Amino acid sequence: MTNIDIGAEEDFPLEEGVYIGHEVTGGEPIAVFRTDEGIYALNDRCTHGNYSLSEGWVEDGTVECPKHASSFCLANGKVLNLPATEDAPTHRIEVVDGRVLLTPQF
């Protein structure tokens, strides 16, 4: 896959999700999260209820789905609590010269 420049690092607020649509990714929508520890990308949809993770609560390296409160690790997509039982797919993301580059892993 090819790197997609999705913006400047400062365009991604700390501890919030940013929705990146399918027209940009070439596949499924992706949620991008920036924390003090790094920047992360997961499929935007909760694996339990198909709700947008970019609208979830971000805290301590996790995102909590706004519908049923399942949490996922931002670093590896691992589901941390029920009702979700499947991990959220992750995508390669890096910052180069202040630009955020996303490589979807579809």
Q: What is the pLDDT along the chain (106 residues), one digit of tens a residue?
A: 689 999 999 999 999 999 999 999 999 999 999 999 999 999 999 999 889 999 999 999 999 999 999 999 999 999 999 999 999 999 999 999 999 999 999 8
Q: Which of 35, 37, 39 minimizes the C-alpha distance to 57? A: 35
- CATH code, domain carrying 80: 2.102.10.10
Residues of the domain holding 19: 4-103
Number of compact structural domains in the chain: 1
Placement of tokens 């180069």 in the chain? 96
Enter the DSSP assignment of 99: E
